[in-house]
Amino acid sequence: MLKAQDIAKILLQEKAVFLRPQEPFTWASGIKSPVYCDNRLLISSVEAREKIIIAFAEQIRSLNVDGIAGTATAGIPWAAWIAHELKLPLIYVRSSSKDHGRQNAIEGQLAARKKCVLIEDLISTGKSSIAAAKKLQEAELQVIQVKSIFTYGFPQVEGLFKEANLSFSALSDFETLAQVAYNDKVLDSETLTHVLNWRKSVVFP
């Protein structure tokens, strides 16, 4: 079974993590970050994605769910591959409902009261993941857990998920990745301290 350190190594090897301490990235939320994780790059690597799919599948099998849900758009390919691996139905959640046709918020079919796992590629502030999970709940589906490849692990996120009465987990996290990057000499000690202090000091908009 792959550990968090193994997933972190994959992210670094596939160059899905960008470090720019002197020129921080600006997230959609407005947060300024010295680190940017772009897991969309992983979908092009056959070897990397197979390892990640297996890691997800190993964890999900024990949850005894009826289907796999993905978030649009980044979670869709992962959800599709996981659903195929586990031989389970696939659905996905739109970021906003269609403004034509049946005006669906959820595409695909999974009967009410069925249990599902919601797949994200990344959890940063957690707000979009929680919004997607709520859409599934509004469709009378049971969201057993929200799962992602990576999370920044902000303490505020735990509070938001708890408030929403949702469980979440990630294959790897920010502190693990930072430590692996330091061990592999991707980060020096000064930059390691800088990014760890940044994570602790982030204030959500």
All structural domains of the chain, each given as residue ranges with its CATH number in brackets, are 4-199 (3.40.50.2020)
Which of 93-97, 148-152, 196-200 has the weakest average pLDDT?
Answer: 93-97
Mean pLDDT of 187-203: 93
pLDDT of residue 103: 66
Task: Please state the pTM of the whole predicted model.
Answer: 0.94
User: Does residue 172 carry a pLDDT above 90?
Assistant: yes
pLDDT at 82 over 80: yes
Q: Does the pLDDT at position 113 exceed 90?
A: yes
Q: How far apart are CA 150 and CA 173, in angstroms?
A: 5
State the average pLDDT over residues 55-62: 97
pLDDT of 102 strictly over 90: no
pLDDT value at residue 101:
47
186: pLDDT strictly greater than 50: yes
Mean pLDDT, range 116-132, rounded to an integer: 96
* Nearest-angstrom CA–CA distance, 196 and 111: 43
Q: What digits encode the pLDDT tens for the residues 14-46?
A: 999 998 888 999 998 899 999 999 999 999 999
Tell me the average pLDDT across 71-99.
91
